[in-house]
Amino acid sequence: MTVTGEAFCLPTDHPLPPGVSREGVSELFGTAPPISLYGSTKLASEVLALEYGETFGFPVWINRCGVLAGAGQFGKADQGIFAYWINAYLGRRPLKYLGFGGSGHQVRDCLHPRDLIPLLRQQTGAPDGKPARIVNLGGGASHAMSLAELSRWCSDRFGSHTVAGEPTMRRFDIPWLVMDAALAGNLWDWRPQTSLMEILEEIALHAEQNPHWLELSGAWS
């Protein structure tokens, strides 16, 4: 990876693996081990769902969603990092950049769950005739930001707050993951409608109205 500003980005002078481009990670990216125990359960669930549909004769569509984010999402670091970070920053809770030099340069994209509704409506009524059963869904490059960039947004929105750094790496942490949803666009004419800034502001408003959200989410006791 290279660093531009406060975020990791893909190198321009190095070949990328199949399924990876500046638009994100597509369905062509490999899923062979090692993918973590957590990733293995997801992949096994996909295989089981497809086999079940084949056995009993009904269409199965698998939507590989990236990071979902929006108001009312539980603020948990492992599943709701945008909600967690904004709520913790607003409440001046301890925050820490983990791994990658403790810089906060790691990047994710996000997607509002309401943007899935038009696709789910299509899939529910679709015959079993689409050429691909698995699609990646996410906000893509236009909805991607690093933790350091998210902290800067929070600082502009709420005022300054110190974020610590812990450079020690954890296994299976990755510096950059953006979902390429081009296939879903081609097959289903699907694209995210809620912008990144709209998502962040919606979470911020909810956090201001619910100051104990992290306790309710189980992230803090």
pLDDT in tens, 139-161: 999 999 999 999 999 999 999 99
Q: Is residue 32 part of a domain?
A: no
Q: Is residue 139 part of a domain?
A: yes
Q: Is residue 46 part of a domain?
A: no
Q: What is the pLDDT of residues 41-79, one digit of tens each?
A: 999 999 999 999 999 988 899 999 999 999 999 988 878
Q: Is residue 1 part of a domain?
A: no
The residue range of the domain holding 178 is 61-217
Domain with residue 126: its CATH number is: 3.40.50.720
Helix crossing, 147-158 with 81-90: angle to 10°? 40
End-to-end CA distance of the chain: 37
What pLDDT, on the 0 to 100 scale, is given for residue 221?
Answer: 59
Say how far apart CA 82 and CA 71 lie, in whole Å: 10
Q: Is residue 14 part of a domain?
A: no
Q: Is residue 36 part of a domain?
A: no
Domain count along the chain: 1
Cα torsion angle, 156, 157, 161, 166, sign? negative
Of 132, 117, 137, 138, give the one whose Cα is nearest residue 59.
132
- H/E element, 62: strand 62-65
Contact of 109 with 139, CB cutoff 8 Å:
yes
Q: What is the mean pLDDT of the chain?
A: 94
Say how far apart CA 123 and CA 68 lie, in whole Å: 19
The amino acid at residue 82 is: F
Q: Is residue 211 part of a domain?
A: yes
